[in-house]
Structure 1
């Protein structure tokens, strides 16, 4: 461990600002702009999505109705029904598993004469309803012969007051999809949906759904527009999905099976979310996966935001922290076939089985899948045995597909060392390293990849976040955590010849339903905001450049000396030099960056600053831009960039290179 990062971390923990001496000499850095060290992967900075913290249902998936098809373990969870209605048989949940194994349940409602029946759905910690927004309601229903039933759809505000209503009459004895629209007259942060059935007879209902008109790209069964926009603004190079531990499941029976998440949304099998009861102190018994957001929607999302898709598949192993269940090797073939079929689904001709399904779902063009993950955070010889069989089958049929491979749950130790040594000998394509550690760890490891083998597998920094605790004991998205991540990321960028991809994790969290913190983006039913960590990621991804060039102090890389961290790239497309500087100390640092290997620099550049005087400061729903980038011009004389890096700050300088 280096001395300087320790000093920097002590300054971080002290949280004391020290003004610079008027006579303080600048730190002299040199950029060798003519010495290209390596290219930067187009997918260098990406995003990792996992359905944790109500990220999918109740989050980015815009469906407002919870338990819309009565498939939760408690079939009426999320629904409020009249007292005594169940016991007297006025509502029954019918299981037709033999007829429809993927969506077996529906509700049967009996209406005695002149007695209306009301169902109320609470949504996901309430429903976010916006004044003036149109909402699309739908349900499948049938009425028994001789019945005469209609129903009223009502939007309720937080106090139970009506803020929108419409009525639908039923006209069929067979299952039929009914749709209607209604406009909200007021805004509600925790609204509800009420259905009132009137008339006489018996009605069956299923797949009760409510979506806002305004989804991402106005798609039906769509995604929440504000959350997707935050992702798009990151300009991610890749989208890793669907996790994470979701891929593994607590046991194999509730692992993620991609084939059950495509095709007709009404036929996608609901399962329990593995984060339902993982953390006793943050239990979420109503956390299930409807898979309205399935593999097709993930591929579509990646395409929408310009990211390469990176699906991760189960390799025949459940979570080793939970059950450690594995499928027998002689029964692994279906798992491997799932991987081969997924490639066909993504890239196959429309005349193939799975390519035809993709086309039927509305996307005849291929999704251009180039890489795939085998397992999530597996470890041990049992993983190597299964990975080897996957790799052989995939490479034999699709040699162009690159595979991402697990190095276990942490960045060091016996589990990591075994897989790192073994998979390198097997000439693996990409090794996935994960690190959830203290802010001090991130400072101390900014040089982690400086000495990695340049001829070995590429590295995917697949999950990382600095975990600094707040006063309540929970990890917080503090400026301290974001700043140390920014410092660490200079080392990732500097070593782009080894580190090909990187993504913060987790991505999304509902403020009323989270299980894990910190997270990159937080939201409630109406609002969302990017954390300081989000803006660090955004500044790196939006200033990615195309090639890495050295930035040095005393002919050494800048990685903690004087508590400063730095990396430099050239954007050959815009003709700009991009300098990233991090000051992890409580003292301002004047710097002079001399640029060699160019004829000159434009007289005016752009400076973006991300900083705070309070290391424990965070953004909130009420103050979403408390810590956010500030842009200004910076004057440049000759070929030297001069500035003073404020305490606890991250600077990005863009300067045009004179031809």
Structure 2
């Protein structure tokens, strides 16, 4: 009998149950702080094939033969054998940004060059594809190009012919449809005839890019970003701002102007991780600073560029520019502001106009340095900030506290930045789910008169920082949801926040976890994505107190909560995170209102397992579910499911 009782007690403990009701109070007439429109934003870095092979819709890898191995991504076949050749020429003296091109010779037969794409090419049936190439015929040559899109079996599913004319470089274009859908397509370019031809910038884009822009972005990935309704877009990183060394740092001026004149560099994540070596990872800068600004505008997000401060990645070479040689780096920042905001009569404002955007982008923020630390960073930041403010006093300058959320370097940075009255300090944290739950009170004690906080990179790590075994599971996402109640509750201090990294190709990632995963045809938001979306789509305008027994709700019995007012819709917004494995009945009394509407909206994310995840096959397995909730007077009764995140919106 005793054994049966013990067994029953154990079962009862293991099964979810409903605790006694908890009485919460929202003081809707006592706003604490405004929630900034920039509160929830996006961090973009070209990691995990996020740009080339990702959001940048180009299907051809190594289109201009500039990889360290010039024919990486290409294979060559001749029929009959021995009738042709491919030679890579270098014209560095004449065109240093894009020096290499392929010199083709064919002697009365045909030669084919096949490009494998980025882990294959995702092609869709009945979709237009736009081919382009820069080419020039040699004297007395009559070569033509047969362009074929092939499926994984090598079968032709679309084709066109291009016949370049003349001995001067010229861009040629052609379009055709694909008859099949295949995630592992490839592009074949066959040279037929007699003679010689030079080719460069061999390119293929799908016709369904975002806003149908030629040479544009992958629409499904941008749509996932647009659905977040982000307040800002931080770009281009991240550690690629710094570079492994300063020779391969991100230089924005090399990413604007005509595509064929942009100087490609190796991606710093190319060989960073021994567990995920990616020797074919480069930055073509087809997605450059102009495109980042344009994307920000499309998303209705404030652009937030991060600029190199004269320091390479301190986890790599740690190379620095001497203090008396910083001028070119500072000038890059000043010129960028002119590019974004300058009149069309200015040098860089004119370039923006020439690229198709005469109106300014209204840049308000600029970041100096990414994850730098130590005295060498602080002394450089001081010089940058002084120069920026001297010419552009209204630009808000974002600085950083290093790669970790605590420790001697963190404390030193904050001490110095407080002394100089820094405007916004960027903090990063990649920590365990437990850390995120424990740190929901992190900003409760921050100085309300000190620098504001940018939670610029954060993500719960299910195993360890940068472990290849990290998962985008519900335990991590729910812990982030709990932590974010503390970000919002402290909106007086925290003004910008963003999860990181953003994108990851399922076959070409270097870092996990990531917010959005994709293959060559499909994409999906992780459970972490949907937590971010629930916050950003339900931010409100003012944070108000939400209390349990007179105290902020910061983990009591596994419950975390915050509340806000939406001045446009006249709603009270409640965010409640139940991290326990037990249901909770909460009675929320909203003070400061005579009455609430009789019905409200309830949005719930819940999973029965901490290990639960979304997949490309089940992309919305765990995602917000919306329903109607009944309201009585000024009270909202909400039953919180075990391990759930709930948002309630009720009109006053």
Normalised-by-shorter TM-score class: over 0.9
Is structure 2 residue 22 aligned with structure 1 residue 27? Answer: yes
Please give the per-residue CA displacement for 1:326-369, whole angstroms capped at 9, x wherever unaligned: 01111110000000000000000000000000000000000010
Aligned length: 639
CA–CA distance in structure 1, aligned partners of residues 341 and 163 of structure 2: 44
* Kept after mapping to 2: 8 A contact 1:47/1:507: yes
* Kept after mapping to 2: 8 A contact 1:126/1:191: yes
* Kept after mapping to 2: 8 A contact 1:46/1:503: yes
Is structure 2 residue 435 aligned with structure 1 residue 441? Answer: yes
Give the match's secondary structure for 1:199. strand
2:483 pairs with one of 476, 479, 488: 488
2:378 is matched with 384
1:18 is matched with 15
1:455 pairs with one of 427, 449, 454: 449
CA–CA distance in structure 2, aligned partners of residues 19 and 320 of structure 1: 48
Runs of 4+ in 1 over 4 A off after TM superposition: 83-89
2:314 pairs with one of 312, 320, 328: 320
Is structure 2 residue 40 aligned with structure 1 residue 45? Answer: yes
Is structure 2 residue 571 aligned with structure 1 residue 573? Answer: no
Is structure 2 residue 258 aligned with structure 1 residue 261? Answer: no
Please give the TM-score of this superposition, normalised by the length of structure 1.
0.96
Shift of 1:142: 0.6
* Kept after mapping to 2: 8 A contact 1:86/1:92: no
1:148 is matched with 142
CA–CA distance in structure 2, aligned partners of residues 294 and 619 of structure 1: 31
* Kept after mapping to 2: 8 A contact 1:480/1:616: yes
* Kept after mapping to 2: 8 A contact 1:17/1:647: no
Taking a change above 3 Å as real, the CA distance of residues 79 and 357 of structure 1, as seen in their structure-2 partners, is same
Taking a change above 3 Å as real, the CA distance of residues 245 and 84 of structure 1, as seen in their structure-2 partners, is farther
CA–CA distance in structure 2, aligned partners of residues 65 and 373 of structure 1: 32
2:620 is matched with 625
CA–CA distance in structure 1, aligned partners of residues 255 and 79 of structure 2: 36
CA–CA distance in structure 2, aligned partners of residues 177 and 401 of structure 1: 40
Shift of 1:245: 0.1
Shift of 1:87: 10
1:303 is matched with 297
CA–CA distance in structure 2, aligned partners of residues 436 and 404 of structure 1: 20
1:364 is matched with 358
Taking a change above 3 Å as real, the CA distance of residues 517 and 86 of structure 1, as seen in their structure-2 partners, is farther
Taking a change above 3 Å as real, the CA distance of residues 443 and 96 of structure 1, as seen in their structure-2 partners, is same
Is structure 2 residue 64 aligned with structure 1 residue 69? Answer: yes
CA–CA distance in structure 1, aligned partners of residues 126 and 623 of structure 2: 30
Give the match's secondary structure for 2:332. helix
Please give the TM-score of this superposition, normalised by the length of structure 2.
0.97
What RMSD, in angstroms, separates the aligned Cα atoms of the two structures? 1.5
1:240 is matched with 234
2:535 is matched with 540
CA–CA distance in structure 2, aligned partners of residues 135 and 608 of structure 1: 40
Alignment map for 1:108-507 (pairs within 5 Å): 108-113=103-108, 115-469=109-463, 474-507=469-502
CA–CA distance in structure 2, aligned partners of residues 171 and 492 of structure 1: 61
CA–CA distance in structure 2, aligned partners of residues 229 and 282 of structure 1: 28
* Kept after mapping to 1: 8 A contact 2:79/2:111: no
Please give the per-residue CA displacement for 1:398-440, whole angstroms capped at 9, x wherever unaligned: 0100111110001000110000111111100100000000000
Shift of 1:167: 1.2
Give the match's secondary structure for 2:188. strand
Please give the per-residue CA displacement for 1:572-627, whole angstroms capped at 9, x wherever unaligned: 10000000000000111111001100011000000000010011011000000110
Is structure 2 residue 74 aligned with structure 1 residue 79? Answer: yes
Query: Any unmatched runs of 5+ in structure 1?
Result: 1-13
Query: Any unmatched runs of 5+ in structure 2?
Result: 1-10
